[in-house]
Amino acid sequence: MIDETGSQILVINCGGQYCHMIARRVREAGVYAKVCSPSRALEELGQAKGIIISGGPSSVYETGAPALPGALWEKGIPVLGVCYGHQLLASALKGVVKPGTEHEYGEATLRVSGQDSLLKGVNDRETVWMSHGDEVVAPPPGFEVLARTETCQVAAMANVDKKLFGLQFHPEVTDTPCGPTILKNFVFDICHCRQDWRLDGLVDALKERIRAQAGARHVLFFVSGGVDSTVAFTLCTAALSPERVTGVFVDTGFMRKNERPEIERTFSARGWHNMRYVDASDLFLRHVGETADPEEKRRIIGDCFLKLQENLESELGLTKGNWLLGQGTIYPDTIESGHSQEAAVIKTHHNRVPAVQELIRRGLIIEPLRDFYKDEVREIGKQLNLPDALVRKYPFPGPGLAVRCLCSPESLELEKRPAELDKLAAAAGLRAWRAPVRTVGVQGDHRSYSHLVILTGEASLAGYGEVARVMTRKVRNTNRVAFLVAPADGRCLERGSVTRSLITKERLDLLREADALSHEMLLREGLAEQVWQFPVVLLPLTRGRGETIALRPVASRDAMTARHANLPLAFIKKLADRLMKLPGIDMVLYDVTDKPPATIEWE
Ligand code: XMP
């Protein structure tokens, strides 16, 4: 049940991408956890039995970096610092923190030397997930080093008597398999928490919350047909009745093939008549088609939605003060938009553009799912009896294909086998090219926007992935690596270039076809379960005749971290051959980067 009165664990948010996942993992263990900012740590402490300090984008030695009141260490309450939190703990207690010799992103092997208390039950060698630039080089007096990695000498440290612990890696992400053991050791053995937090009765509690927030007001909802907006809309309608909730499906022109008929079927099967359909593709395309910049696209899309909402206001007879705007925003969307004071902006979620932020400030937004992660949203959807196919649907971003249709403001040449990249690729018998197409990444809690690296030559999927991992670590300004699947001969990139292009209906139609074909084949070959999400991206990279499709299937649990999906190479090649038959497709790439350092979507 949701208990807002007190928490057993207080998670202090220093702006890390995974901060809320810490709270989520603690809740999964059956213990209520609450998140707060560093400046409110003492006030929010209440009866908490333990404190976890999250990671964050800052360096402890920077002015203005998040700091904690000294009194916090003196309370005798157990503290666990994670990543930035670990560095903060070290520097506050007179240890030494310095920029690392190498930035460490992604997987690392932990060598454990102290297996009691925090690391009880953890093997001598464990795979852990790292994402940091700085590191603790000397622990504070009274602390012992519990574990290290090849490049990080103090990967875990403890002062057991004072119950103070630090971890440079992230125990909260699924890519640290021993993470749940470590968090449970902290929560139960060290903090002695009760296991009394459950999700039973969640739907009723959420409906109650919606009724309390809405009062007598109506709710207007943009429903995209994706899991989040559909579950949020269903929840609001169930809480307030169809008379008080209006759903609007807007065809932005950035939807996937056959999206609207599927949505119509879902809601008419429920007997609901509170959904309207609006074709606004001209409006969106006219505005978004003017920019090549991903953040600008997101801002424009958010603004177009608000423009439509203003029109709908008068059309639906909504008067000032008697309605709210409903949104299907979920936890990661709020975090990655830099929602907390300390977090760096990775991508501005379309639900978090400035105009929406203003509505939030004025209390005019209702977001029933904003505290939940995707798998919890699916669980809520199940409790609402939504069809299984819908609840299990792959996530699709609000801005839709607009952020999967990459643009270039000018025509540019491909950088042919730059030495620093080619050397790393050559170690695996591959070659590397740098395309002048930039994509978004998240590195050490910061947003990056860097040029794409393309590998050519034959390797296993794991082989390509390993080169990607090394490259993104060692070469600055590299956040995404893909290999060329078709055509088979990589020398075609000698003629590769990027053409000036913005978003057009023709390009979107081509992308829609490629997207539909890719998903159909995945389903037909029985591989859908191996993939958490499958963005298909169009980029204006050409060897003279058309454009390039990049395949980005990922395995993930909640989008905060992801791995490139391990699909059979034979399938990837078969799919690429089919895509190459689409008129206008010149090349096919497969993205082999994990998140971090690349985000799931390319923009
Ligand atoms: P990234 O690309 O940041 O994506 O790794 C994480 C998850 O969020 C989805 N995403 C969005 N969803 N509006 C949405 O509703 C957005 O603006 C947006 N941007 C990214 C993305 O598809 C992935 O599941």
Q: What are the pLDDT digits (tens) for 551-576?
A: 999 999 778 889 999 999 999 999 99
Q: How far apart are CA 398 and CA 403, in angstroms?
A: 9
Q: In angstroms, rounded to a whole number, what is the distance separating the alpha carbons of residues 371 and 462?
A: 35
Q: Is the peptide bond before 596 cis (omega within 30 degrees of 0)?
A: yes
In the chain, the domains with their CATH numbers are: 4-190 (3.40.50.880), 202-400 (3.40.50.620), 412-591 (3.30.300.10)
pLDDT of 133: 86
Q: How far is CA 457 from the centre of its chain?
A: 30
Smallest CA separation from ligand 1 atom 21, residue: 397
Cα angle 527-533-538, degrees, rounded to a multiple of 5: 105
Cα separation, 287 vs 65, in Å, equals 38
Measured from the Cα of 226, ligand 1's closest atom is: 15
Atom of ligand 1 nearest to the CA of 328: 15
Pocket of ligand 1 (CB under 6 A): 298, 332-333, 336, 347, 349-350, 395, 397-399, 533, 559, 595, 599-601
d(C-alpha 423, C-alpha 316), whole Å: 62
Dist. CA 64–CA 191, nearest whole Å: 31
* Ligand 1, atom 22: closest residue by C-alpha: 397
Ligand 1: centre distance to CA 268 (Å): 28
* CA of 347 relative to ligand 1 center, distance in Å: 8
User: Cα(537)–Cα(542) distance, rounded to whole angstroms?
Assistant: 14
Three-state SS for 67-115 is CCCHHHHHHCCCEEEECHHHHHHHHHCCCEEEEEEEEEEEEEEEEECCC
**Residues 252 and 284 sit within 8 Å (Cβ to Cβ):** yes
* Distance from C-alpha of 354 to C-alpha of 295, rounded to nearest angstrom: 12
One of 14, 19, 36, 83 is an active-site residue; which one?
83
Q: Which atom of ligand 1 is nearest to the CA of 603?
A: 2
Mean pLDDT of all residues in 177-204: 91
Active site residue 170: yes
DSSP assigned state of 127: E
Q: Report which protein residue has its CA nearest ligand 1's atom 19.
A: 397
Cα separation, 340 vs 507, whole angstroms: 36
CA–CA distance, 215 with 271 (Å, rounded to integer): 25
Is the pLDDT at 534 greater than 50? The verdict is yes
Q: What per-residue confidence (pLDDT) applies to 343?
A: 65
* 438, 400 contact by CB (below 8 A): no
Lowest mean pLDDT among 3-12, 243-252, 372-381: 3-12
The chain-wide mean pLDDT, for the chain, equals 91
Is 172 an active-site residue? Answer: yes
CA–centroid distance, 348 to ligand 1, in Å, is 9
- Whether 295 is catalytic is no
Closest ligand 1 atom to the C-alpha of 556?
A: 24
Give the per-residue pLDDT at 339. 47
Give nearest CA residue, ligand 1 atom 11: 397
- Candidate from 45-49, 428-432, 503-507, 534-538 with smallest mean pLDDT: 45-49
**Do β-strands 245-251 and 275-279 pair in parallel, antiparallel, or remain unpaired?**
parallel
**Dihedral sign, Cα of residue 530, residue 532, residue 536, residue 541:** negative
CB of 492 closer than 8 Å to CB of 543: yes
- Residue 143, number of CB atoms within 10 A of its CB: 23
**Cβ pair 477, 452 in contact under 8 A:** no
pLDDT for 238 beyond 80: yes
pLDDT tens, residue by residue, 360-371: 999 999 999 988
Output the pTM of the full model.
0.79
